[in-house]
Amino acid sequence: MRVRGQIGAIGAFILVMAGAAASVSRAPDSILYAQGQLPGVEPLHDSGQDVTPAYEGWYKNRDGSFELLFGYQNRNLKEELDIPIGSSNKIEPGNPDQGQPTHFMPRRGWGIFTVTVPKDLGTKKVTWTLTANGRTNAIPASLDPRWEVDALNEVTSGNTPPTISFSMGGPTGQGPRPLTTTLTANMSTPVTLDIWASDDFKSRSRTPRGEKLTITWSKYRGPGTVTFAAAKPKVDEATGRASTTATFSGPGDYTLRAVANDYSGDGGGGFQCCWTNGLVKVTVTGGSTR
């Protein structure tokens, strides 16, 4: 097990919890706590809670630049939140829009996006701030050596992230920095979402658990509701193709996220490797779907 990867995983949890300070309340030791609840921490709620950004760590690109890897913790069990770019969802310094999501699924989102920073960043910090349900949380990210992760190679097993493409034989992507493509759609017709995925099927375990290769779709940005025929379509073992459709409740510009996971699962099972992000930008036109 690589020490720095472990530190990054633990540190990400610590930073998420640090952002929760505003929601912590004291309680008598005699209180019995429900499953998933820690002493001194508010019970879980279906809705009405905040979202904390999480810094997962950083890794180096071949050109000498770096990727800062972010996720989040939506403390709601059921409520999906939309937080538009602006004072309530910003990255500083620079342009407040640096590719972060504006739609937040319930619970923990691992390795959702990266911010590319130059090789001369030095000791400067990049901060992501989120305000939701009346509470503001911010997380700083830097190139502190303790936060270095291996998002493209889990060295104990040689495992690497799945490789994806949005067209057979087309451009490929691997790792958290997303492969992107664009589509146009009309509200009257569900748009088809195809993805081709492959993997080395390596695992830290001699008897790996879970599915060996999965694709999961979710809304990343957009003004309306997105309904997937299958949010987790089956990957054809022979071709590597996974196909589903998406329907939109209203016109506008949307971004959909596809994440390809291997045996290591969400967030690499705490090792910050190995998964791959893909983003599909969809321009939706037309009237009612009725």
Which pLDDT score, from 0 to 100, does residue 175 have? 96
Where does 118-251 show beta strands of DSSP type E?
Answer: 126-132, 135-141, 163-165, 172-174, 179-186, 191-198, 213-221, 226-228, 241-248
Largest CA distance in the chain: 62
Sorted by where each begins, the domain ranges of the chain are 3-147, 163-285
Cis bond upstream, residue 140 (ω within 30): no
What is the mean predicted confidence (pLDDT) over 122-136? Answer: 97
Q: In what order do the strands lie in the sheet with 135-141?
A: 89-92, 126-132, 135-141
Which pLDDT score, from 0 to 100, does residue 40 have? 55
Which pLDDT score, from 0 to 100, does residue 44 have? 84
Which of 274, 60, 99, 98 minimizes the C-alpha distance to 175? 274
Q: Is 161 exposed, middle or buried (0-12, 13-18, 19+ CB in 10 A)?
A: buried
What are 187-222's pLDDT values in tens digits? 989 999 999 999 999 887 766 666 789 999 999 999
What are 144-163's pLDDT values in tens digits? 999 999 999 988 889 999 99
DSSP percent split of the chain into helix, strand, coil, nearest 5: 10, 45, 50
Which pLDDT score, from 0 to 100, does residue 268 have? 82
The average confidence (pLDDT) of the chain is: 86
| 1, pLDDT greater than 70 | no
Q: How far apart are CA 82 and CA 268, in angstroms?
A: 26
What are 236-258's pLDDT values in tens digits? 999 999 999 999 999 999 999 99
CA angle 165, 158, 234 (to 5 degrees): 40
Q: How far is CA 105 from CA 73, 246, 265, 273, in A?
A: 9, 17, 17, 21
| 19, pLDDT greater than 70 | no
CATH domain 163-285 topology: Immunoglobulin-like (2.60.40)
| 270, pLDDT greater than 70 | yes
